[in-house]
């Protein structure tokens, strides 16, 4: 199982270090991914099943792109796992499928592990599963789904940061459809909590979770990893 924490715009250098140091002292079998803000990236001494990744990057090694972070900066911290396509970047920050594909191809060329996020907004969900899947497949336009370092996260937009998780049946339906074409690990994300993670991880074709809000408290995150380990 893969248990991932997306800090978004939360935590600072000191609290990120405390968080990672705490997780590092735990012994577990699950694969753990932590995505802190750029300013908190550092040379962490990590146990092999933990990786610290980047929430975003600009698809260049280096150059003149004021305010952006390229791979020269990420390489300094040996970052080789990245989030791409998160709904907050697509819907709040206006990332297009074209710019997402540029990032995807760049990260693939760098042989990074890519956690690629897809998911439908509320108005599409209301139209039923066919509309949901056709919306999601469009988010795979020009994306190499056979890339061996790919992890796909299904994250319905309306469930992210709202406290409203998709139902177990709805998650299963989407993951089953994804699994029919995609062989890489499939995660669910959207208001996962300590109380709900076990049932979600027990869904067939669910290989883990990407968690925002409920993971920012290290004790909660650690509990989620423990639940995953004990499945």
Name the site residues for ligand PEP (rule: CB under 6 A): 6, 8, 155, 160-161, 189-192, 210-214
Alpha-carbon span 5 to 15, nearest angstrom: 14
Q: Which residue has the tokens 């995953």?
A: 228
N- to C-terminal Cα separation, the chain: 9
Q: How far is the CB of 207 from ligand PEP (least distance, A)?
A: 15
Contact of 166 with 190, CB cutoff 8 Å: yes
Work out how close the CB of 111 gets to ligand PEP at its nearest, in angstroms, rounded to a whole number: 24
> Of the listed 11, 31, 86, 95, which one is catalytic?
86
Structure-block tokens of residue 164: 């409203």
The residues pairing with 151 across neighbouring beta strands, listed in sequence order, are: 115
What distance in Å separates the CA atoms of residue 23 and residue 26, rounded to the nearest whole number? 5
Q: H helices within 13-96, ranges in order? A: 13-25, 71-75, 87
- 2 or 210, CB closer to ligand PEP? 210
Q: CB-wise, 70 or 161, nearer to ligand PEP? A: 161
204 part of the active site? no
Structure tokens at 7: 């800090």
Least spacing, CB of residue 160 vs ligand PEP, in Å: 4
| Residue in the shown chain whose Cβ atom is closest to ligand PEP | 212
- Cα 34 from Cα 27, distance rounded (Å): 16
Residue 211 C-alpha from the chain's centroid: 8
Q: Residue 72 catalytic?
A: no
Among 31, 113, 120, 155, which one carries the catalytic annotation? 155
Nearer to ligand PEP (CB atom), residue 191 or residue 205: 191
Shortest distance (Å) from residue 189 CB to ligand PEP = 3
The nearer residue to ligand PEP, 6 or 30, going by C-beta atoms, is: 6
- Residues annotated as part of the active site: 86, 155
């Amino acid at each position: 199982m893969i248990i991932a924490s997306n800090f978004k715009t939360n935590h600072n250098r000191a609290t990120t270090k405390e968080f990672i140091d705490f997780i590092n002292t735990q012994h577990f079998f699950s694969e753990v991914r932590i995505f802190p803000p750029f300013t908190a990236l550092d040379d962490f001494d990590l146990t092999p099943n933990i990786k610290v990744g980047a929430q975003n990057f600009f698809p260049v090694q280096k150059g003149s792109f004021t305010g952006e972070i390229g791979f020269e900066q990420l390489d300094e911290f040996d970052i080789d796992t990245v989030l791409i396509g998160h709904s907050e970047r697509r819907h709040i920050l206006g990332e297009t499928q074209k710019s997402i594909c540029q990032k995807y191809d760049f990260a693939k060329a760098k042989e990074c592990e890519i956690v690629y996020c897809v998911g439908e907004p509320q108005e599409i969900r209301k139209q039923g599963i066919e509309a949901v899947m056709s919306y999601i497949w469009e988010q795979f336009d020009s994306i190499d789904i056979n890339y061996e370092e790919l992890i796909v996260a299904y994250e319905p937009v309306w469930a992210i940061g709202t406290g409203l998780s998709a139902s177990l049946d709805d998650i299963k339906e989407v993951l089953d459809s994804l699994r029919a074409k995609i062989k890489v690990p499939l995660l669910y994300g959207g208001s996962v909590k300590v109380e709900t993670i076990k049932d979600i991880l027990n869904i067939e074709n669910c290989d883990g979770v990407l968690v925002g809000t409920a993971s920012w408290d290290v004790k909660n995150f650690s509990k989620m990893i423990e639940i995953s380990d004990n499945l």
